[in-house]
């Protein structure tokens, strides 16, 4: 599949649109922040497993076999899912709206 001159012109219009830079900057920085938070949570949990076994091994309550580590591990997984949902929500609203504006302007 080759790129036609019309496609090339549209691509240039899109890339030269200030909204395109706004979109890519906002999307990349937001994704980077959420990714960093998830990575810090996961590595923090792994470091806690490696160096804080006594903390994770404490029972949730006296006489229980469930330990503190279990709800913390579930919380890390749930937090990652929630952050994915936050990204999807923002992508489906703000980022998609901006993307539609850019495409519309490229067709004008």
Q: Per the structure, how many domains does the chain have?
A: 1
* 26-42: pLDDT as tens digits: 999 999 999 999 999 99
Q: If you ran DSSP here, which 8-state letter would residue 61 be given?
A: S
Sites in the chain below the pLDDT cut of 50: none
pTM over 0.95: no
- Is the sign of the CA dihedral 73, 78, 79, 80 positive or negative? positive
DSSP symbols for 39-107: HHHHHHHHHHHHH-HHHHTSBSSTT-S-BTHHHHHHHHHHHHHHHHHHHHHHIIIIIHHHHHHHHHHHH
Residue 100's domain comprises 5-107
């Amino acid at each position: 599949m080759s790129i036609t001159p019309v496609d090339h012109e549209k691509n240039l219009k899109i890339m030269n649109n200030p909204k395109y830079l706004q979109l890519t900057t906002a999307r990349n920085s937001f994704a980077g922040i959420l990714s960093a938070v998830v990575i810090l949570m996961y590595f923090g949990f792994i470091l806690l497993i490696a160096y804080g076994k006594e903390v994770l091994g404490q029972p949730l309550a006296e006489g229980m076999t469930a330990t503190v580590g279990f709800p913390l591990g579930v919380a890390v997984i749930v937090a990652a899912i929630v952050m994915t949902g936050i990204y999807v929500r923002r992508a489906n609203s703000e980022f998609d709206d901006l993307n539609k504006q850019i495409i519309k302007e490229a067709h004008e």
